[in-house]
Amino acid sequence: MMPFLRTFFNACECRILAESNDSLTVQLTEEADRSLMNRPFYWHYKDQLGQPGDPLVVTFFTKDPGRLLKHQEEYMTFGSPRFHQFLLYAQKKSAFIKMYETSISSETVQLEPWLFVHFHLSYEANGKKEKLVPLAIHLISGTFSNNFSDTLTSLSMSHMISPYHYVLSPLITPVSGLNRMKKKLWHDILQEEHDWAKTALEKQKIELTILETFFEQNEEDKAHFEREKAAIMRRFEPVIHISVLNGGLFYIAQNRS
């Protein structure tokens, strides 16, 4: 939890005032306060008056301090709504990024475009499992890469394009690059064994059979039957949801991956 908070606040440009093994005190920026602290009335009030607001200083404990918490103190675990709020905020702030490889060079460097996406797969039936699938596509050759993030970690990257660097235009547009990745993902998923879905459907069938033994046919029962049936369908219907957690365009020199 501690590394998460540290990286999170650094990335959000909030100054960390004090830090120990299990607590961290941070001066929020105005933007962070507005987006995270759930106090719209305060900010509305300040805006109306045309005054600058006073962003909060908050202390987060990652271990239960074993005492009552004061104002602007919070206990944070991976189970806290606050943590999930931060994570969602981080996700929104980085949903789309654009990065360029930089190197110190006196000669011109040619950068090639890649689209890199974290797909989020959620397998749901009478339970749920999820996984992230990182996938990248070379927007010139159409080659896929499964370990693009490994490539990235060895490079130095920047938001801005460096001097003497230039980018090649993609032959595949980013949108159709995304579509190609989706198609590949779809194909890969269909190749998987889906025992979980089979089991769920079998269970669903059994539950429906059980349900049918309960009712004798009359009008009033019908609504009840439909209601219970719908619940069983919801509980067991296997489905895979695919969404994108985040993604971006990366320009890196040739033969990097």
Partner 1 sequence: MKPTIVYDNSWENVFEKELQNASSPGSWSLFTLTAETKNRILPSDFNGLLAPDFLPHIQFLPHQIKTAQTVMEEMNGTAILADEVGLGKTIEAGLILKEYMLRGLVSRVLILAPASLVSQWAKELRDKFQIFALVQRKKPDWSWNGVQIASIDSAKQAKFADVFTDTLFDMVIIDEAHRLKNPATKNHQFVSRLNKTYCLLLTATPIQNNVDELFHLVSLLKPGLFGSNGFFQTQFKDGKRSVQNRDAFHALLRQVMIRNIRTDVEQQPIKRFVQTIRITPSKEEKAFYESLADCLPGAITLLTLQREACSSKYAALATLIKQEGFTQTNTAALADAIKQNSKADKALDIVKQLNEKVLIFTQYRATQQYLELFFRSHDIPAVSFQGNFKKGKKDWMIELFKGPARVLIATEAGSEGLNLQFCRHVINFDLPWNPMKLEQRIGRVHRYGQSQDVYIYHLAYKQSVEDRMLALLYEKITLFQTAIGKIDNILDQNWIEDHLKDAFHTSKSVGEWEIKMQNLAAVLE
180 sits near partner 1 (criterion: CB under 8 A): no
Applying CB under 8 A, the site for partner 1 has a residue count of 82
CB of 147 closer than 8 Å to CB of 155: no
Q: Take residue 54 and report the two structure tokens written for it.
A: 């006073």
Q: Which stretch binds partner 1 (CB under 8 A): 45-53, 106-114, 140-148, 194-202?
A: 194-202
Rounded-to-integer distance, Cα 4 and Cα 9, Å? 9
Q: At which residue do the structure tokens 């991976």 appear? A: 78
Task: Decide if residue 11 touches partner 1 (CB under 8 A).
Answer: yes
- Which part of the chain contacts partner 1 (CB under 8 A), choosing from 41-49, 72-80, 103-111, 138-146? 72-80
Among 135, 136, 197, 252, binds partner 1 (CB under 8 A): 197
8 Å CB contact between 23 and 43: no
Nearest alpha-carbon partner for 180 in 136, 146, 148: 136
Rounded Cα gap, residues 147 and 149, in angstroms: 5
Of 25, 194, 256, 257, which lies in the binding site for partner 1, with binding defined by CB under 8 A? 194
Q: Which residues contact 69 (CB under 8 A, 6 or more apart)?
A: 61, 75
Measured from the CB atom, is 10 or 141 closer to partner 1? Answer: 10
Binding string, residues 13-52; x marks residues near partner 1 by CB under 8 A: ----------------------------------------
Contact window for partner 1 (CB under 8 A) among 29-37, 41-49, 51-59, 210-218: 210-218
From the list 29-37, 43-51, 119-127, 138-146, the region that binds partner 1 by CB under 8 A is: 119-127
CA distance 17 to 238: 48
